[in-house]
Amino acid sequence: MSAARDELPAVARRRVRLALRAAREGTGLSQIEVAKQLGWSLSKVQRIELGEVTISPTDLRAVLDVYQVTDAEHIARLSADARTARRERYWISQEYRDHLPPGLVQLLQFERAATTIREYHSTLIPAYLQTPAVAEAILAWFGQSLSEERRRVRRDVRLARREQVLKRENPPHFCLLLDESALWRTVGGPAAAVEQFEELAATSRWPNVHIRVLPMDDGMMMGTFGYFMALDLSDDPSDAVLYREEYMRDEVIEDPAQVEYHRDAFERFWKRALSVEASRALILARVYDLRARIARDLSQDQGMES
């Protein structure tokens, strides 16, 4: 799934809903008044403005007439966005729709339009920075909660996203705030953890990637936020979305207050974290420590055999 920003259905649907809400508010009309004028249900107006459903070309023209929008160029852009939004079922493969959580399906589009991505994780290396061995170990932990096919699709998506997002043409600035405790979890075993941390340190040298480790003492309160991503979609601070994920549930949040709250918290703790260079040194220190542990265990095993 490779596409330019203007061809991303979720992004186009967001532009339409924001434009329609702004146009309605500009007229001073309430959602109830709009519904009455158009002969629609109130829930239809609400769901369009929330981005829960797309809008047909006929309905778009009708609502723009109510809002007295006459600028031909603006109407043409909205019409194009509305057509793009309605192609989402064709843009997203059936395999993805069947096996990925709904929030992630949207995130796959928003992160390709993002100019800056701020990501916080308190327990694990983020999904698309995981090595194949670590991704396998994490997905295997879900056991019967995920079928073998769902685990396969999620693993493939994790391994593909790094190239599609961080190494695409004009990639976003990626800022990862990682709690120190994530470095003390040997997911998949010591050898897999060594490979993971070495790759994380190498990725931290990419020009658009900035990784900082938040010491456990300073990260105590930040940990209460859980995992989240705040994605800026343009230079406009209000043009941003929030992605949150829990055990078997995820969601994309577009409420500006929620996005700003999480982004401000991120920035506050980002300043308290170790520098990029010190963070890389700490990650590599864990690599050396784990390598020493592996060598020591191997030596002990050989001694017992002799």
In this structure, whether the domain defined by 5-90 belongs to CATH 3.40.720 is answered with no
51-70 confidence digits (pLDDT tens): 888 999 999 999 999 999 99
pLDDT for the residue numbered 162: 87
The Cα–Cα gap between 306 and 289 comes to: 26
Confidence of residue 1 (pLDDT cuts 50, 70, 90): very low
Residue 61 pLDDT: 94
CA angle 274, 278, 280 (to 5 degrees): 110
C-alpha span between 188 and 297 (Å, rounded): 16
Instruction: Check whether 75 has a pLDDT greater than 70.
Output: yes
Q: Given this model, what pLDDT does residue 225 score?
A: 84
Straight-line distance from the first to the last Cα atom of the chain, in angstroms, rounded to the nearest whole number: 55
pLDDT of residue 285: 97
Closest CA to 110 of 40, 13, 198, 20: 13
State residue 271's pLDDT score. Answer: 94
Rounded to the nearest angstrom, the gap between the alpha carbon of residue 276 and the centroid of all alpha carbons in its chain is 22
Mean pLDDT, the chain, as a whole number? 90
Question: Over the stretch 170-206, which tens digit does the pLDDT of each residue have?
Answer: 899 999 999 999 999 999 999 999 999 999 999 999 9
Helix and strand totals (H; E) in the chain: 13, 6
Provide the residue ranges of all domains of the chain, joining segments of one domain with +. 5-90, 92-300
The structure's pTM equals: 0.85
Class of domain 92-300: alpha beta
pLDDT of 306: 57
pLDDT at 6: 54
Model pLDDT, residue 304: 67
Q: Does the pLDDT value for residue 39 go beyond 70?
A: yes
Write down the pLDDT at residue 218: 80
